Amino acid sequence: MNGAQHILEAFQRHQIDTVFGYPGGCIMPLYDALVDAEGVEHVLCRHEQGCALAADGYARASGRLGVCIATSGPGATNLITGVANAHRDSIPMLVITGQVPSALIGTDAFQETDVLGMALGIVKHSYLVTEADELPAILEEAISLAQQGRPGPVWIDIPKDVLLTDIAAMACPSAAPDIAQAAQSTLTTTAPPCPDLSDALALLHNARQPLLYSGGGVGLAGAEAAFRAFADTSGLPGVVTLKGIGNHGKHSPHQLGMLGMHGSRAANLAVDACDLLLVIGARLDDRATGKLADFAPNARIIHLDADQAEFHKLRRAEVALRGDLNTMLQALTQALSNRPLAIADWQAQCRTWATTKGFPAADNEATVAPIHGPEFVRQLSRITPDDAIIACDVGQHQMWVAQHYQFDHPRHHLSSGGLGTMGFGLPAAIGAQFARPDQVVINVSGDGSFMMNAQELATIRRYRLPLKLIILDNQCLGMVRQQQELFYGNRESQIDLDDNPDFLTMARAFDIPSLHIERSDQIRRGIETILAYQGPMLLHVAIARDDNVWPIVKPGAGNREMLDEHQRNRKETPTTKTSKETAA
Amino acid sequence: MSATTEHTLTCRMQAEPAALERLCQVVRVRGFRIRQMSADSADGQLTIGLTVSGERPIGMLQSQLEKLHTVAQVSTETTLALARA
């Protein structure tokens, strides 16, 4: 068995049945072995960035390991954005690249790049396999490492000659039980012992206005049920980060929505007023906290997380507890069920804020035109099934989805949080559809983001994926335009996209039928039509060019300084210099 | 403006091909500058002595270094306040 065959054997042994890749020179031995392999479906994307982002979407939707494969040089460099995206959002991913033959490394050979050096800052760990007999142990370790603790991408760079070398039987896991058992034990090990929660409980009982602040760590730990039990038992009002959307479920009476730059007034007001913040599986990201000096100014912090390095990084916590969130939340729930919190006044205050200070809705279906993004997303949320998976790209539409779609589970919301990768949505939705073939998967995109990975329409066509594609088309880079309007004196610069392609014709080129709507009385029919269609379908939605995401906190400002539409200070005519004029 | 502080650290890690690059990159990205560095290799292990300076708490760098998969131990030896940057 050579190195390439061993990789595929390891995939089968670890029940890795779906991988996303693109062949090329130095990875060809693996593609040759793939011809005879059973039990592994290789999804051919049309760009290596698409492979990495599809693997990311697969992992987010399923909770399983995402795997992507590419060749050396440009294949590897094209993966970088997708791997960085997974790294910033703690997504379990295995990355395998071919490398030039060992003897040629360091000679500037054809398609040689220093992948190990290049990727150091965007991986949980990485390897260059220098001896063929090391490959089995490295694979076992990498598969385990990517998924344990705080997950992340692990990259293995493998010279072509290693892929072709027969691997000694001694090196294979079946003959090296210590390696295999060690790797397996990290996946199946029982939860670590629960840390002492008495200090946290004392703070909770002494607080008058305690608030729950949860992030993506809850979903990553598979701790949704434990989290909801804790939220219900404690009665703590809760805010969520972008990655924590769905933690509470769509019907929770306790949640105040997303906090931060585009958070609800209710969430930001509660954070501003609270005297204790219980942070669970979140890293106090700057988009969520705003200006740190103004963040939760009256609050003490309890921080529960899987990653020790997140404690005290941006804000000192009075109590910081590292461990398995399931274990800690269950223990806290038990303790509070014996001795409930007395916070009725605070709960009433938060309920009032939730009712009166939620996200502003232009929810007027009687309006004929133009369609407003928030209104579209609210209708989408009402019409789609509870278990629909919504991928989005990056920009205004992403924030409208975060604000106005009611998610029942964090794995239903696929959004590029840390890196903010335009072009994430389409390949991520492809990955999610492979992970969840029986669920409705919808990509909500903007016209700017959609063009960033539009080549993956060919992947949808090839695999006949029943994806639903929605483009909220405002003919510009809306989020950049919005910030230019509000914070750069309305001087529009390089945001005009009114020369977009005809998206309907484009879809037709990939055998994807489409529908165009431009009036709000067409929204319901449009959504129902694409959902009813047995196959992929595109809904092109012409939306108002000058709609903004409200509220907004100016970058660098405190979260209490939320701007609303009535504070909009537009000039009559924006100062515009388009890219076309520049080119001319 | 925060005061710059100089710290001496000792790091034990696996002597894998990218060991020193990993270490140095984390030091730089997390806001510290390397003033002095030594490395000894024995039995597949590297023992690295580092003198770094920076304005951020050294505990933040220590916890980030400890996150590296091939790092076995990081200890802070001394801390010396320098003149304000």
CA pair distance A237, A258, nearest whole angstrom = 12
Instruction: Read off the amino acid at residue A503.
Output: F
Measured torsion, CA atoms of residues A568, A574, A579, A581, in degrees rounded to the nearest 10? 180
Residue A546: the pLDDT is 92
pLDDT tens by residue, A254-311 = 899 999 999 999 999 999 999 999 999 999 999 999 999 999 999 999 999 999 999 9
Rounded mean pLDDT of A27-34?
A: 98
User: What is the enclosing helix (H) or strand (E) of A320?
Assistant: strand A319-322
Residue A291: the pLDDT is 96
Coil, strand or helix at A540: strand
Cβ contacts of B57 on chain A, cutoff 8 Å:
312
Residue A169: the pLDDT is 64
Of the candidate ranges A44-53, A162-171, A209-218, the one whose mean pLDDT is the lowest: A162-171
User: What is the enclosing helix (H) or strand (E) of A352?
Assistant: helix A344-356
Q: Residue A399: which of A550, A282, A553 has the closest Cα?
A: A550
CA pair distance A563, A261, nearest whole angstrom = 10
Coil, strand or helix at A338: helix
Rounded mean pLDDT of B19-31?
A: 97
Rounded mean pLDDT of A437-445?
A: 98
CA pair distance A373, A542, nearest whole angstrom = 9
CA pair distance A470, A467, nearest whole angstrom = 10
Q: Work out the angle at residue A313's Cα, subtended by the Cα atoms of residues A124 and A303, and round it to the nearest 5 degrees.
A: 95
- CB neighbour burial string for A129-167, b if at least 16 within 10 angstroms, e if fewer: beebbebbbbbbbbbbbbbbbbbbbbbbbbbbbbbbbeb
- Band of residue A574 on the pLDDT scale cut at 50, 70, 90: low
Nearest residue of A to residue B70, measured between CA atoms? A125
**Could you tell me the CATH superfamily of domain A3-188?**
Thiamin diphosphate (ThDP)-binding fold, Pyr/PP domains (3.40.50.970)
| A169 vs A25, more confident | A25
Instruction: Say yes or no to pLDDT of A191 above 60.
Output: no
Residue A154: the pLDDT is 98
Chain-chain contact of B70 with A126 (C-beta, under 8 angstroms) = no
User: What is the enclosing helix (H) or strand (E) of A55?
Assistant: helix A48-62
Residue A340: the pLDDT is 95
Chain-chain contact of B17 with A116 (C-beta, under 8 angstroms) = yes
- Band of residue A170 on the pLDDT scale cut at 50, 70, 90: low
Under a CB-based contact definition with an 8 Å cutoff, are residues A411 and A432 in contact?
no
Cβ contacts of A102 on chain B, cutoff 8 Å:
none
DSSP states of A377-431? HHHHHHHS-TT-EEEE-SSHHHHHHHHH---SSGGGEE---SS--TT-HHHHHHH
Residue A530: the pLDDT is 98
Looking at CA atoms only, how far is residue A123 from chain B in angstroms? 10
pLDDT tens by residue, B29-80 = 999 999 999 999 999 999 999 999 999 999 999 999 999 999 999 999 877 7
Chain-chain contact of B29 with A121 (C-beta, under 8 angstroms) = yes
Of the candidate ranges A166-170, A213-217, A477-481, B35-39, the one whose mean pLDDT is the lowest: A166-170
Catalytic residues of A: 48, 110-111, 160, 479
Q: Residue A420: which of A474, A460, A470, A479 has the closest Cα?
A: A479
- Band of residue A250 on the pLDDT scale cut at 50, 70, 90: very high
- Band of residue B83 on the pLDDT scale cut at 50, 70, 90: low
- Band of residue A576 on the pLDDT scale cut at 50, 70, 90: low
Domain covering A198-356 assigned CATH 3.40.50.1220 in the classification: yes
Rounded mean pLDDT of A430-459?
A: 98
Rounded mean pLDDT of A44-68?
A: 98
How many other C-beta atoms can be found within 10 angstroms of the C-beta atom of residue A354? 19
Instruction: Read off the amino acid at residue A395.
Output: G
Residue A179: the pLDDT is 39
Under a CB-based contact definition with an 8 Å cutoff, are residues A59 and A219 in contact?
no
Residue A40: the pLDDT is 97
Instruction: Say yes or no to pLDDT of A212 above 50.
Output: yes
Q: Work out the angle at residue A226's Cα, subtended by the Cα atoms of residues A344 and A94, and round it to the nearest 5 degrees.
A: 135
Chain-chain contact of A121 with B25 (C-beta, under 8 angstroms) = yes
Cβ contacts of B64 on chain A, cutoff 8 Å:
309
| A571 vs A386, more confident | A386
CA pair distance A21, A24, nearest whole angstrom = 10
Cβ contacts of A127 on chain B, cutoff 8 Å:
16
Residue A128: the pLDDT is 98
In the DSSP assignment, the letter for residue A244 is G
To test the contact with chain A by mutation, choose from B28, B29, B30, B63 the residue with the greatest count of A C-beta atoms within 10 A, namely B63
Looking at CA atoms only, how far is residue B36 from chain A in angstroms? 22
- Band of residue A237 on the pLDDT scale cut at 50, 70, 90: very high
Percentage of chain A modeled with pLDDT above 70: 92
Chain-chain contact of B18 with A117 (C-beta, under 8 angstroms) = yes
| Residues in chain A, overall count | 584
Rounded mean pLDDT of A487-515?
A: 97
Residue A567: the pLDDT is 72
Instruction: Say yes or no to pLDDT of A495 above 50.
Output: yes
Mean pLDDT of chain A: 93
Half-sphere exposure of A426 (CA within 13 A, CB side): 30
Rounded mean pLDDT of A197-212?
A: 97
Query: CB neighbours of A210 closer than 8 A, spacing ≥ 6?
Result: A204, A236, A274, A275, A276, A277, A278, A341, A343, A346
Under a CB-based contact definition with an 8 Å cutoff, are residues A273 and A413 in contact?
no
Looking at CA atoms only, how far is residue B73 from chain A in angstroms? 14
Burial of A110 (0-12, 13-18, 19+ CB in 10 A): exposed
pLDDT tens by residue, A239-249 = 999 999 999 99
* Residue A282 phi, psi (nearest 5): -140, 160
For A566, the token pair is 């009535």
Chain-chain contact of A145 with B69 (C-beta, under 8 angstroms) = yes
- Band of residue A581 on the pLDDT scale cut at 50, 70, 90: very low
To test the contact with chain B by mutation, choose from A126, A134, A140, A316 the residue with the greatest count of B C-beta atoms within 10 A, namely A126
Chain A residues whose C-beta sits inside 8 Å of any chain B C-beta = 116-117, 120-121, 124-128, 130, 145, 307-309, 311-313
Instruction: Say yes or no to pLDDT of A580 above 50.
Output: no
Cα separation values, B4 from A314, A379, A469, B36, B62, Å? 18, 54, 52, 16, 17
Looking at CA atoms only, how far is residue B51 from chain A in angstroms? 21
- Band of residue B82 on the pLDDT scale cut at 50, 70, 90: confident
Percentage of chain A modeled with pLDDT above 90: 89
Architecture of domain A373-583 in this structure: 3-Layer(aba) Sandwich (3.40)
ipTM of the complex: 0.94
Cβ contacts of A307 on chain B, cutoff 8 Å:
67
Instruction: Say yes or no to pLDDT of A189 above 80.
Output: no
pLDDT tens by residue, A344-372 = 999 999 999 999 999 877 645 556 788 99
CA pair distance A476, A446, nearest whole angstrom = 9
- The structural domains of chain A, with segments of one domain joined by +, span 3-188, 198-356, 373-583
Under a CB-based contact definition with an 8 Å cutoff, are residues A376 and A472 in contact?
yes
What's the pTM value of the predicted model, to 2 decimals? 0.94
- Cα A234 off chain centre by: 28
Rounded mean pLDDT of B16-36?
A: 97
Chain-chain contact of B18 with A116 (C-beta, under 8 angstroms) = yes
Q: Residue A45: which of A57, A60, A29 has the closest Cα?
A: A57
Domains of chain B: 3-80 (3.30.70.260)
How many other C-beta atoms can be found within 10 angstroms of the C-beta atom of residue A309? 20
Burial of A177 (0-12, 13-18, 19+ CB in 10 A): exposed
Please determine whether the domains at A3-188 and A198-356 fall in the same fold group of CATH: yes
Looking at CA atoms only, how far is residue B63 from chain A in angstroms? 5
Cβ contacts of A119 on chain B, cutoff 8 Å:
none
Q: Residue A83: which of A105, A102, A66, A63 has the closest Cα?
A: A66
